């Protein structure tokens, strides 16, 4: 039986990059202090992984190990704690940010493969949960309008629940400051009521993959 093709990503080694054979990968990492590498079944997975810092795949485990043990060995995590599944790179991701809660709120949608921003919205007063909800609905409408089949990633379980229930269950008060935002929320809820969609909404696995590509980087 013909051996299945593997692709090897080296984040830290004598040479970094994507290798299509173990020999070249081994030459790059064997005996190299703190080498970081991993094999993948497809080139697209390897390409995505290479463009995502290797630390993202095992950062949470590393931090936990540091807290629990006085002796920490980073080599232990070079190959064994990478998630067995990877995100679909031909997809879009949405995320929100809020300066204060409530405060200035914005959300955006990006194409995961390239990081290109597809849409963006900002309002003077809102909450992070509202932004996550509106980001998903905007993404769904965007994909349907263009007849795109890509799945949509979000890191908000709460927002996924609100979208499925077709209702933004915010406790933010309706007043003169928030009236425009609530009009926008109402339009999003109406879109959910009046439209069907086949888009798969997927929870982004932050622990395994790092921050979602649509993250504003303000943490």
pLDDT, tens digit (0-9, with 9 covering 90-100), for 29-67: 888 877 778 888 888 878 777 765 444 444 444 444 445
| Residue 148 CA to its chain's centroid (Å) | 19
pLDDT band, very low/low/confident/very high, at 158 (cuts 50, 70, 90): very high
pLDDT value at residue 219: 56
Give the list of residues 6+ apart from residue 195 with CB closer than 8 angstroms, or none.
140, 141, 144
Cα–Cα distances in angstroms (integers) from residue 114 to residues 42, 61, 142, 144, in the given order: 18, 27, 17, 20
Q: Residue 18 corresponds to which tokens in the numbers above?
A: 């994507």
Q: Using CA atoms, how far apart are residues 86 and 214, in angstroms rounded to an integer? A: 17
pLDDT band with cut points at 50, 70 and 90 for residue 146: very high
How high is the pLDDT of residue 194? 96
Query: Which pLDDT band, with edges at 50, 70 and 90, does 2 fall under?
Result: low
More confident residue, 43 or 160: 160
Q: What is the DSSP-derived secondary structure letter of residue 200?
A: P
Q: Higher confidence at residue 6 or residue 64?
A: 6
| 169 pLDDT higher than 80 | yes
pTM of the model: 0.65
> Do residues 94 and 136 touch, judged by C-beta distance below 8 A?
yes
Burial class (CB in 10 A: 0-12, 13-18, 19+), 79: middle
pLDDT at 152 over 60: yes
């Amino acid at each position: 039986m013909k051996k299945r093709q593997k692709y090897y990503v080296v984040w830290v080694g004598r040479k970094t990059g994507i290798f299509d054979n173990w020999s070249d990968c081994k030459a790059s990492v064997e005996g190299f202090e703190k080498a970081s590498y991993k094999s993948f079944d497809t080139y697209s997975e390897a390409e995505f992984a290479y463009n995502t810092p290797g630390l993202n795949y095992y950062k949470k485990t590393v931090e936990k190990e540091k807290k629990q043990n006085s002796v920490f060995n980073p080599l232990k995590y070079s190959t064994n704690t990478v998630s067995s599944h990877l995100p679909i790179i031909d997809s879009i991701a949405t995320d929100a940010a809020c300066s204060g809660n409530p405060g200035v709120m914005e959300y955006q949608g990006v194409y995961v493969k390239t990081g290109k921003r597809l849409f963006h919205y900002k309002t003077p007063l809102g909450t992070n949960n509202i932004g996550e909800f509106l980001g998903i609905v905007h993404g769904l409408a965007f994909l349907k309008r263009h007849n795109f089949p890509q799945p949509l990633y979000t890191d908000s379980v709460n927002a996924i629940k609100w979208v499925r229930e077709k209702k933004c269950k915010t406790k933010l008060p309706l007043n003169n400051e928030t009236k425009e935002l609530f009009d926008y929320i109402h339009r999003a809820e109406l879109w959910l009521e009046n439209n069907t969609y086949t888009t798969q909404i997927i929870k982004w696995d932050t622990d395994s993959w790092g921050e979602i590509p649509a993250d504003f980087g303000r943490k």
